[in-house]
Every structure is written in structure tokens, then in C-alpha cells.
Amino acid sequence: MPSSKVWFITGASRGFGRVWTEAALKRGDKVVAAARNPEALDDLVKTYGDEVLVLPLDVTDRDAVFKAVGQAVAHFKRLDVILCNAGYGYMGAIEELDPEQVRANFDTNVFGTLSVVQAALPILRAQGGGHILTVSSIGGIIGFPTGGSYTASKFAIEAMSEALAGEVAAFGIKVTIIEPGHFTTGFRSGVKSPSAMETYNPIRQVIRSSFKPEDFGDPLATAAAIFSAVDAKEPPLRLVLGSTSTTIAKFKAAYEARMNNWDKWEAVSNAAQGEQHA
């Protein structure tokens, strides 16, 4: 893969997408920046000119996704890094959720990612390589109460990406799941929520109070980690963004709890296998 990479980034106008788009351009890479609000990227066009191709894109429009990927290849002649970043939160207690809003959330977070990956794969296979990055979350590892369909969608991203990695490795295509913890990206301002039921307010308050200001990281610091992954000869399947004292500690605790649960119920699980027959 060339030292100067060509990126295709969705959700490029704000949050992590904006940070990673600008950082890739600053280091001399080329970027196809796809966003629902392309005018928010006008300043990057003025600064980087032909090094950036800004495309309007709503990832829920599957035909538009395939068209955008086609435009990207026609413009830069190749794609090296596909970064599926577009997404938003729809959060609330399960009983509160509006099914139509859940579908809309999955349409963006899961099916939007699926469309981008499916559009890019024939190109990457023809090239003999490439790197797909999907963006999960702390909510893709820990399904916290009132996380709503957002956490469910990120669990889906984790499973889909893990399967994808096994399917495309033989074609020289790498897959990395980005797992950010808490960062000051302005993510909360874009979160949608259903009408709150008073009965769930106590647990909601517990969850909100668990988010400490000191746990939130600097989004600008994440770019170096992303570059470490895409520049690595053997990139990780999962890349956590966040410190050991915050994000990684929570992940380890979640996995330890699962291991303890499986160990505690091992006898019951074994009995459920039934008798072994030769």
C-alpha cells in the first residue's frame, strides 16, 4: 500500500469524523469526506484543494453510498482506508423506545455501515488490499441501562466486523473495530431520546452521574492512535480509544463479570448439552 493513503470517511463533518479527516489531510494523505452537511467542510477544501473530495452523503441511502464510493475511486483511482464513522445515539429505557426511531437508528448505524462496506469490498479485493475501520463504542462492549438502540447497534457493528475480518483476510483486507470511550466530541448534542417514563428516572440518574468530567478524553489525541492502526503491518482487530484508568478498566471489568457468570453456571450449561452419543 502506498505511503500516502486515500481515505473514505463517512460522517466527516463533525465529531471524530471531522478530527480524523483533518488529521489525515494534515499528514499528507488524501481524503474523500462524505457527510450529510458537506458545507461544514468548505474550510478544508480551501486549505487542501484537490487533496480532499467532499461528497454529500446520507448513508441510509444505499444507492447514494454506492455512487459516492464510485465517485471516490474515479477521482483518486484507489481507496486504502474505509472509515465507517457515520452514526448517532438513540437512547432511552427499552420500554420507552419508539420502534420507528429504533429502525432509523439501525438504518444509519448498522445498515449504513453495511452499505459502505459492501460498496467498498469489490474495489479493495480488486486492489489486493485495503483497511476497513468500523466505529463501535464503549456501548458496543457494555450494554448499559438506558443505552437504548444505540448500544444494540454498536453490539451489531462489533459482530458484523468480526465476521467480516475472517471473511476478507485472505484478500489482503484488514479490519479494525474502533472502540472509543468517553470523549468531548459533542456526541451528546446529537443524541435523540424518546419521551421519558418517570419510573426509569432513578436508574437514568445513576447512569448520568457515572459519567465523570475527568473521564472524557481529547478527541484530537485519537488521531495518532488511528494512524498507528492503519500504518501497522498487522493492525489490531479491536482498538480501544481511552486510558487504562477509564475505558479499558471498564472493558476488563465487563469481561471478568461474563467469565464469572459462565463459571458459576458451568454445571447447568454442561447439563444442557444432554447425553453424548457415539
pLDDT digits (tens, 9 = 90+) for 193-212: 999 999 999 999 999 888 78
pLDDT in tens, 210-228: 878 777 889 999 999 999 9
Asked if residues 44 and 52 have their Cβ atoms less than 8 Å apart, the reply is yes
- pLDDT confidence band for 278 (50 / 70 / 90): low
Whether 128 maps to a domain, the answer reads yes
Amino acid symbol at 252: K
Whether residue 87 is contained in a domain is answered as yes
Interval 13-61: pLDDT, tens: 999 999 999 999 999 999 999 999 999 999 999 999 999 999 999 999 9
* Catalytic hit among 5, 149, 150, 153: 150
Q: Which helix (H) or strand (E) holds 130?
A: strand 130-135
pTM listed for this prediction: 0.94
26 belongs to the catalytic site: no
Domain holding 159, by residue range, is 6-265
- Find where cell 418517570 sits: 198
Q: Is 167 in a helix, a strand, or coil?
A: helix
Q: What is the pLDDT of residue 1?
A: 46
Catalytic site includes residue 149: no
Among 47, 1, 39, 5, smallest CA distance to 22 is for 47
The predicted model gives 228-242 an average pLDDT of 96
Assess if residue 270 is contained within a domain: no
Q: Is residue 44 part of a domain?
A: yes
- The per-residue pLDDT for range 168-177, each reduced to its tens digit, is 999 999 999 9
Question: Measured between alpha carbons, how far is residue 64 from residues 60, 68, 124, 125, 249 in Å?
Answer: 8, 6, 19, 21, 40
Q: What is the mean pLDDT of residues 259-276?
A: 95
Cβ pair 112, 59 in contact under 8 A: yes
**Across 178-190, average pLDDT:** 85
Answer yes or no: is 184 within a domain.
yes
Residue 170 three-state SS: helix
150 an active-site residue?
A: yes
Spatial CB neighbours of 96, under 8 Å, sequence gap ≥ 6 = 148, 194, 195, 196, 197, 200
pLDDT at site 2: 52
Instruction: Give CA–CA dist 138/134, Å, rounded.
Output: 13
CB 97 within 8 A of CB 148: yes
| Rg (the chain; Cα; Å) | 20
Whether 200 and 146 have beta carbons less than 8 Å apart is answered as yes
230 part of a folded domain: yes
CATH number at 103 reads 3.40.50.720
Total residues found in the chain within this entry? 278
Smallest CA-to-CA distance from 146 within 191, 196, 92, 197 is with 92
Question: Considering 13, 115, 136, 153, which one is annotated as catalytic?
Answer: 136
The β-bridge partners of 175 are: 132
166 lies in a domain? Answer: yes
Find the catalytic residue in 5, 115, 153, 154.
Answer: 154
With CA atoms as reference, report the closest residue to 191 among 133, 225, 147, 230.
147
Query: What amino acid is encoded at 138 in this protein?
Result: I
Domains identified in the chain, total number: 1
Beta strands 81-84 and 52-56 are: unpaired
Task: Tell me, yes or no, whether 271 lies in a domain.
Answer: no
Average pLDDT for 66-79: 98
